[in-house]
Amino acid sequence: MRIIPIKVACGITGFESPAATYTEQKLSLDELLIEHPNATFIGRACGDSMRNVGIMDNDILIVDRAYRYGHLDVIVANYNSNFVCKIIDLNKRMLLSGNDDELPVTISEHDEFSIEGVVTRSVRLHKPSHLLLE
């Protein structure tokens, strides 16, 4: 993929033609978004429980297993046989939502729980992708 490096204003006030200072550069989204390719997987967010941290329904999540998770990181975990994207509160052993309408969930010793990785990036699709249709 080749890109033209221009800044795009979200407010329309007019801008210089991109061809005025045209230079072509290579861009790999893998190189830009994925730091540890052998330890990274991609998932899709379902629901609005993480909207206050900027993760919306159907966003693509880039999850890195090589990162050491920390207190209040956004993680993907296996919680009682369900994959969930939550904020991990290590001090209180709780899963927090990024939505004030959802209550925190305490992780007990009886729960099946494992952290699968840290969410390092999320990508929003403004038009549906045929690759993600089920």
H-only helix segments in the chain: 29-33
Four-CA torsion 47, 132, 114, 92, nearest 10 degrees: -30
> What backbone phi and psi angles, to 5 degrees, belong to 32?
-70, -40
Alpha-carbon gap, residue 45 to 64, rounded angstroms? 15
Alpha-carbon gap, residue 64 to 42, rounded angstroms? 9
Q: Hey, is 103 helix, strand or coil? A: coil
Question: Is there a catalytic annotation at residue 129?
Answer: no
Catalytic residue among 49, 81, 92, 97: 49
Question: Is there a catalytic annotation at residue 86?
Answer: yes
Catalytic residue among 7, 17, 86, 108: 86
- Catalytically active residues are 49, 86
